[in-house]
Amino acid sequence: MGWKLAVLLLAVLVKDGHAVCSCYQAGNYTGTTAPISNAYDTSDFSACFSAACSYVAYSGDDTKGWTGFTFNWVQPLANAGGVLRVFDGTPNLTASPVPLIQVNEGENVIANSAKNLIKSTSPKITIQYTQTSTTSANIYYGSIKATPGLQPTAGPTSTTAMPTTKTYDKQNFKYNPCLITHDILIVVNQRTNGGIFALNMLNGIVTNFVNPLCVTTVNNTIDSTRLALASLTPYQPFFAIRGEIWGMNTTDVTKNLPQSGVSIDGNIDEALKGLVNLTFIVNTDTSTDSRKNVQRSIVLLTAEWPSAATLNNDVKSVFDAKGVNLLVVGYNLTIDEWGRLSQTGRWYNVLNALGSNVPDVAKFVNPFYFNDNSSPNTWCPPQSVQNATTGNTVFFQEPVNYSGPKSSGDIWKDPFDGQSARYCNFADNQYTYTNPNGKGLQVQVFYELEAGKDFLKFYDSSNNLIASFTGFEVSGSTFSTTSSTITARFTSDYESVYRGFYVTITPQ
């Protein structure tokens, strides 16, 4: 959204001093990018003002202090005598301590300015807004970042072993959610049509989703899920990262969920594109990062679907380029919103939740994470046996964007930034072909599958196993059968996902 439009909306949304106000960051914050924004009305998130708003930001790590403060006042100013102060540590604010940074109404702080470069060696800082007017509210936004090295390095931290057993709700989940091995970025839209109630429902969905997961922060394991958290905001870049990317555990995520809303729509398309680019960085050094072979997904939780959000092909191509899947979980969307979000032919998965309990979470975990066919899964859409462009040869492949060899001498191409489409975990798909002239078949298979875990098996018309493939084969494996009908079955387990297979069948 451009500045002009934002200003127009603000003129309508700004309320008087009698509204029930809540700080933008209602509780204290732990994470590496502390958000700063105006107070809001809890019922509709419009901007307002009450008593002094302050909160404590903790970097989450005693070796990290704070710097990189940026700040903007949105025009027109309320002329309310607004002052934003940042303090080292957690001083007694009633005693009027000396602030580390102070900005008066109208003063913006941009990159590389003096106030932007101020550093705090304290892992905890306090951010406070006050104003003299009791009738008009200012609108402002900014952030400050935690960085390592501003504090002496702490001694080694002891690690506790992950519990080997984790109970889960067998009644609702098809399998134990501990088996999910994705890299999952959770994104919460802070702008809702249902105020704080709807935001709490979104947070409830996230909590019930992440609680049964087994989470890791190790970047070269094939097990467990890695988590990151972001929220959508009204201004460029339209998102805020709410913790260390891929460095968060379940508790970090639930503690850093946004506790407050915003009053202005952001730009969902731009936010998602930016987040994919920022968080799904491919390490081309394959020896150190095997997370390359795990499924990747963004779960966007939103209680509104603005008509400006398109999730068009431009957005799709950014996701495709990093092999990232998208799921949009709406909460109590209107018929009109749902119609636009769930349009046919879409490339992402959707759900309109009406609650936030485990059964509501299972409604998207079962079809999309466990691929149990309880609802169509666009992350690995059904494929079929297709006619090749030449001769009477037919072929089938997985994934949709298979990028490997199709004839002897070809090699794997990663058209993208070291990462391209993978097949899905928990796959179980069948392909059947019958030679119309009743004779036998010749089959060639190119494949890259998780060795010993993911299989492509071929059966004749009497269901006898003829051939079984796992691992990889670049030069193609060929076999013939006298059976005129052949059925292939592809199964994958819960762990690593690879670049898939390409099969051609030539009728004899």
Ligand X SMILES: *[C@@H]1O[C@H](CO)[C@@H](O)[C@H](O)[C@H]1NC(C)=O
Alpha-carbon distances of 51 from 45, 54, 104, 195, 422, rounded to whole Å: 17, 10, 17, 20, 52
CA proximity to 178, closest of 222, 227, 247, 224:
224
Give the residue with the Cβ less far from ligand X, 15 or 273. Answer: 273
**Residue position matching structure tokens 């729509």:** 265
Q: Considering the complex, what minimum distance in angstroms separates the CB of residue 190 from ligand X?
A: 17
Q: Considering the complex, what minimum distance in angstroms separates the CB of residue 131 from ligand X?
A: 21
Q: Considering the complex, what minimum distance in angstroms separates the CB of residue 73 from ligand X?
A: 25
Q: Considering the complex, what minimum distance in angstroms separates the CB of residue 238 from ligand X?
A: 10
The two structure tokens encoding residue 473: 């084969």
CA proximity to 213, closest of 204, 201, 229, 224:
224
Q: Considering the complex, what minimum distance in angstroms separates the CB of residue 11 from ligand X?
A: 25
CA distance 421 to 500: 9
Give the residue with the Cβ less far from ligand X, 172 or 249. Answer: 249
Q: Considering the complex, what minimum distance in angstroms separates the CB of residue 148 from ligand X?
A: 12
The two structure tokens encoding residue 49: 């003002």
What are the percentages of helix, strand and coil residues in the chain, rounded to 5?
15, 30, 55
Give the residue with the Cβ less far from ligand X, 136 or 371. Answer: 371
Give the residue with the Cβ less far from ligand X, 194 or 261. Answer: 194
Give the residue with the Cβ less far from ligand X, 283 or 506. Answer: 283
Give the residue with the Cβ less far from ligand X, 354 or 451. Answer: 354
Q: Is the peptide bond before 76 cis (omega within 30 degrees of 0)?
A: yes
Q: Considering the complex, what minimum distance in angstroms separates the CB of residue 276 from ligand X?
A: 7
Give the residue with the Cβ less far from ligand X, 175 or 416. Answer: 416
Binding site for ligand X (CB under 6 A): 27-28, 56, 60, 90, 92, 94-95, 194, 219, 249, 251-252, 270, 273-274, 277, 283, 288-289, 317-318, 320-321, 332, 334, 354, 387, 392, 400-401
Give the residue with the Cβ less far from ligand X, 17 or 91. Answer: 91
Query: Strands 140-148, 455-459: parallel, antiparallel or unpaired by DSSP?
Result: unpaired
Q: Considering the complex, what minimum distance in angstroms separates the CB of residue 9 from ligand X?
A: 20
- Assess contact for 471 and 451: CB atoms under 8 A: yes
Q: Considering the complex, what minimum distance in angstroms separates the CB of residue 393 from ligand X?
A: 10
Q: Considering the complex, what minimum distance in angstroms separates the CB of residue 336 from ligand X?
A: 10
Give the residue with the Cβ less far from ligand X, 46 or 325. Answer: 325
**Cβ-based neighbours of 20, under 8 Å, separated by 6 or more:** 41, 42, 43, 48, 50
- Give the dihedral sign, CA 457/460/461/464: negative
The 3 state secondary structure assigned to 456-475 is EEEECCCCCEEEEECCEEEE
Give the residue with the Cβ less far from ligand X, 158 or 463. Answer: 158
Alpha-carbon distances of 157 from 31, 61, 214, rounded to whole Å: 18, 11, 21
- Assess contact for 205 and 329: CB atoms under 8 A: yes
- Assess contact for 395 and 504: CB atoms under 8 A: yes
